[in-house]
Structure 1
Amino acid sequence: MLTWRKSALFVLVFVLSIAMIACGSKPQEAAKPADNATASGSAQANPLAGKKIALIMQINLGTFSAQYIEGVKEQVEKLGGTVTVNPADGDLAKMSSNLDAAINQKVDGILIDHGTAEALEAGVKRALEKKIPVVAFDADLKVPGVTVLEQGDAKMAEQTLEQLAKDINGKGNIVKIWVAGFAPMERRQVAYQAFQAKYPDIKEVAAFGAATQNTALDTQAQMEAILRKYPNKGDITAVWASWDEFAKGAARAIQQAGRTEIKVYGIDMSDEDLQMIQDPQNPWIASAAVDPKDIGRIQVRYLYQKLHGDETPEKVVLEPVFVSRDQLPKEQISTTELSKHVKGWGGSQQGYTDWLKQAENK
């Protein structure tokens, strides 16, 4: 009996020893505190990682818009965030609704692309009340606390119109393609009116333009009609297009009609636009623009400055550059290579801060 009790006691001690060893090993197995410390260090390095950003667009059309969106996404992702793109297909009521939806979804920040004060102001004010920062591009907004980017529209118009005047020796008949109702277009129109006053021997023989879901195609059809109305060489000397979608449509109509004595001067630049300008058979020979990817990147930088609590200006003017065919190589290039040939293109450091650069590297 005593022997049995000793044996039982030995087994009990053995089992308790195993249990104590097992319990003692758990803190080493679950080295969670060290992992959490690392995560905490990363959060301190980039406290704005994981932000949800909404991009509210009036219209998403053509390669310019596509490259602009690429710039937005690239910069947000570098800072550890995500972007939801909400285009309105030109419908301002839908744009306003998309803005309200983003606010209700409690996004961390809102980017706005174009739009009017009537459609956006109430929603933007509601976003600010809920502590959601807003940065707009080419939107007609004057709400305290909102930073608005623009492309230097007057300068872009001046650059292209002055080159047009120089090329035709200050005399000839031109077609203007322009549309009202967009803040950047209104600024370009002011420069156009100054151009008309400066060059009285340059006559506007036709003017048209509409922003549609098929702007380039619709412009092409309208330009074809104008060419039929003015069928003779010299009837039209040049075309000034205030948007690259207009320039694309006009250039295609002119080229297909064999009227390449008519030159096209545009505004904006995308990879597709650049290919057309480089084509020696294409009538589109020059454009003034800001890199659309840079626009997206810069807009995001100012939004993250707001998220960081930094003071930001109410208006940011982006510096445009003039691009003409004679600056470009014969081989096809993309806009990512354009800086090799055109000074000032791409790679803008505007809106960068030291802390933003550091946050990108984490």
Structure 2
Amino acid sequence: MKKHSRIGTWLALAIALVLALSACGNKPSGNAGASPSESSSASPSASASAPAAGADNPLKGKNIALIMRLNTGTFSAQYVDGVKKQVEKFGGKLTVIPSDNKLDVMASNLDAAVNQKYDGILLDHGDAGALTAGVQKALAAKIPVVAFDSGITAEGVTSIAQNDQKMAEQTLEALAADAGGKGSIVKIWVAGFPPMESRQIAYKAFQDKYKDIKQLAAFGTADGAQLDAQTRTEAILKQYPEKGSITAIWAAWDEFAKGAANAIKQAGRDEIKVYGIDLSDEDLAMIQDPSSPWIASAAVDPASIGQVQVRYLYQKIHGDDTPATVQLDSVYVSRDALPTDKKVTTADLSEYVKGWGASDQGVTDYLTELEQAVAGQ
């Protein structure tokens, strides 16, 4: 009897040991050692919320295409710099694709960008007739598009523009005031660009308002704009050699203003004043030069234009609803407002001209967090 009892005891112990080991082996390994907050009990709503702006933020690492109709002059250079720096602040990469002032080439570049599956597309100085079909392809491919000065009204696109009529009005009204409401002027302008067409509307209103200001000539081309403006201004000066025969030149683009100013200065016709539109550091240096005939311009900070355009593109990438149009207000910059004892650049122009400088348009909390996360890497 004692022998059977010992066997029963050992058998009971063995069964208990097996059951204990089995219980240990059935414990879920994924939660081993995990605290409640680290377990897989997160709610669906938490996983669906927007992720924090950390290293895994889905807005980082985007490939952005900037398709430009033309990329000439210092205004364009500063605009591109603004675009590039803002994309980099968001942790993305920018590819600039110029089109040599050919709309058919720009349309082809847009199609190629869609086929290459860029994460977002920026357009600069395009045309609705040439680009709308390509824009529709981009939207169908779920690639967001934000255009600058392109006149595109396709649903789903945000179009950013300077207040071109206001800029023209600012410079033309200053010209009329300085001339005493009478005189003879030359217009340098080119058709076929949405901002130029808007500026022309203001010019026609100016002509209607100031009947005693006569137009002597009008010309301009986008190809080799500065050199062409200089050459043709030289010809106009020879055609009207008497001092006082030309009161002023109104240039609807800073590249035109530079060419005209060079021709006037070389000819010694210091009685002729130049009024321009758009502004860069190079332009400011000429306006500050007391020997230059270029005395004023109306403009929006080109770098801030690029920054604002990128912000709205990233809002679209994020899935936000964005406005169909965004308008950027201009300021009037004259030589009288600038110091005579130091050189001014667009970076410090806000110290002397109210309303100039970096814009906060398009900024959101999550884009600010994204910038901070990228900067902190």
- Using the alignment, how far apart are the partners of 2:326 and 2:56 within structure 1? 28
What amino acid maps onto 1:298 in structure 2?
V
Q: % of aligned pairs identical?
A: 66
* SS of alignment partner, residue 336 of structure 1: coil
Name the residue aligned to 2:136: 125
TM alignment of 1:136-155, pairs within 5 A: 136-155=147-166
- Using the alignment, how far apart are the partners of 1:45 and 1:297 within structure 2? 23
Q: CA deviation at 1:236?
A: 0.3
Decide whether the 8 Å contact of 1:149 with 1:315 is kept in 2. Answer: yes
Name the residue aligned to 2:200: 189
Decide whether the 8 Å contact of 1:45 with 1:359 is kept in 2. Answer: no
Query: Is residue 2:61 matched to residue 1:50?
Result: yes
Name the residue aligned to 2:365: 354
Deviates more, 1:43-52 or 1:61-70: 43-52
- Using the alignment, how far apart are the partners of 2:138 and 2:354 within structure 1? 39
Q: CA deviation at 1:82?
A: 0.5
Name the residue aligned to 1:21: none
Gaps of 5+ in 2: 1-50
Q: CA deviation at 1:96?
A: 0.8
Query: Is residue 2:318 matched to residue 1:308?
Result: yes
Q: CA deviation at 1:42?
A: 5.3
What amino acid maps onto 2:319 in structure 1?
G
- Using the alignment, how far apart are the partners of 2:286 and 2:100 within structure 1? 26
- Using the alignment, how far apart are the partners of 1:127 and 1:305 within structure 2? 16
What amino acid maps onto 1:52 in structure 2?
N
* SS of alignment partner, residue 272 of structure 1: helix
- Using the alignment, how far apart are the partners of 1:262 and 1:289 within structure 2? 21
Name the residue aligned to 2:181: 170
Decide whether the 8 Å contact of 2:250 with 2:276 is kept in 1. Answer: yes
Query: Is residue 2:123 matched to residue 1:89?
Result: no
- Using the alignment, how far apart are the partners of 1:298 and 1:215 within structure 2? 27
Structure 1 counterpart of 2:337, from 321, 327, 337: 327
Q: CA deviation at 1:124?
A: 0.4
Decide whether the 8 Å contact of 1:55 with 1:83 is kept in 2. Answer: yes
* SS of alignment partner, residue 240 of structure 1: strand
The 1:324/1:94 distance shift into structure 2, 3 A limit, reads same
Structure 1 counterpart of 2:246, from 217, 222, 236: 236
Please list every run of at least 4 consecutive aligned residues from structure 1 whose deviation after the TM superposition is greater than 3 angstroms.
Answer: 40-46
TM alignment of 1:253-264, pairs within 5 A: 253-264=263-274
Name the residue aligned to 1:317: 327
Decide whether the 8 Å contact of 2:171 with 2:275 is kept in 1. Answer: yes
Gaps of 5+ in 1: 1-39
Q: CA deviation at 1:46?
A: 3.3
Deviations 1:118-170 (CA, angstroms, capped at 9, x unpaired): 21111100000000000000002110000001100000000000000000000
- Using the alignment, how far apart are the partners of 2:53 and 2:280 within structure 1? 37
Name the residue aligned to 2:228: 218
Deviations 1:159-215 (CA, angstroms, capped at 9, x unpaired): 000000000000000000110000000000000000001100000011111110x21
* SS of alignment partner, residue 313 of structure 1: coil
Query: Is residue 2:268 matched to residue 1:246?
Result: no
The 1:41/1:157 distance shift into structure 2, 3 A limit, reads closer
**Number of matched pairs:** 322
The 1:207/1:169 distance shift into structure 2, 3 A limit, reads same
Deviates more, 1:326-335 or 1:146-155: 326-335
Q: CA deviation at 1:47?
A: 2.4
Structure 2 counterpart of 1:283, from 286, 289, 293: 293
The 1:41/1:320 distance shift into structure 2, 3 A limit, reads closer
Name the residue aligned to 1:208: 219
Structure whose CA Rg is larger: 2
Q: CA deviation at 1:43?
A: 4.4
What amino acid maps onto 1:193 in structure 2?
K
Query: Is residue 2:138 matched to residue 1:112?
Result: no
TM-score by length of 2: 0.84
Q: CA deviation at 1:44?
A: 7.1
Q: CA deviation at 1:315?
A: 0.6
RMSD: 1.1
The 1:155/1:41 distance shift into structure 2, 3 A limit, reads closer
* SS of alignment partner, residue 248 of structure 1: helix
What amino acid maps onto 1:320 in structure 2?
S
Decide whether the 8 Å contact of 2:298 with 2:332 is kept in 1. Answer: yes
* SS of alignment partner, residue 286 of structure 2: helix
